[in-house]
Amino acid sequence: MMTQKFIQVGLVILISSSFLYGCGDNQSKNTQSIKKIKRFKQAVILKGLVTDDKGRVKQGELKATNAKNKVIATTTIQANGYYNVDIPATTALPILLTVSLPMKKGKNKALIAAIVYTSMTKFDINPLSTKIANKAKALGGYTHNNMMIAAESMVAMPDDNKTTRGFRGDPTKQYGGWH
């Protein structure tokens, strides 16, 4: 009888340890699946056009900052509204490009673009890029998914195409179609 209880306890311990061992495997796999921080492999020049509601911004300072708001680089906006800013190699994303505009009515206005892709180097900075960046931040941060959701939410659909289901008419002819 004592031997039988000993065997039962041993089996319980063996089964329990196999479950615990399995949990440990999943935990190590989850740790490995954490996304790697994206970085520019080499120094790059980010460039683009800065516009506001009235057109090209012809003066101002552009700051490139990291996620901790540390300044990476600065430059001035050219008279034609364009900018070029040098980003050092190994700079981690996301990067915020912020253009401080002259004060209007006691308010300091800024235009923003959030950089989350290493494959692109041209970024126009304007009220729309600012809305997208602000929306992505409100969604939880400057990630690919949040930037996509924010950008999609800024697209306007013509009112005559809206219904409670989303659109009306032949879907193959809506927005370019697929045939």
Are 27 and 66 contacting, i.e. CB atoms less than 8 angstroms apart? no
| Average pLDDT estimate for 94-100 | 95
**Segment 20-35, tens digit of pLDDT:** 444 444 444 444 445 6
Of 81 and 30, the one with more pLDDT: 81
Are 123 and 115 contacting, i.e. CB atoms less than 8 angstroms apart? yes
Q: Is residue 152's pLDDT more than 60?
A: yes
Q: Is residue 159's pLDDT more than 50?
A: yes
Q: What is the pTM of this model?
A: 0.67
Helix axes 127-138, 144-153, angle to 10 degrees: 120
In a 13 Å sphere around the CA of 39, the CA atoms on its Cβ side amount to 10
| Average pLDDT estimate for 57-67 | 93
Q: Is residue 161's pLDDT more than 60?
A: no
How far, in Å, CA of 111 to CA of 53, rounded?
11
Residues making up the chain, counted from first to last: 179
Helices and strands (H and E) in the chain: how many:
3, 8
CA angle 91–64–75, rounded 5-degree value = 120
pLDDT given for residue 36 in this prediction: 74
| Phi/psi of residue 134, nearest 5 degrees | -65, -40
| Average pLDDT estimate for 75-84 | 96
Q: Catalogue all structural domains in the chain, each as residue range(s) with its CATH number.
A: 44-153 (2.60.40.1120)
User: What distance, in Å, lies between the first and last C-alpha atoms of the chain?
Assistant: 78
**Segment 121-140, tens digit of pLDDT:** 999 999 999 999 999 999 99
pLDDT given for residue 105 in this prediction: 64
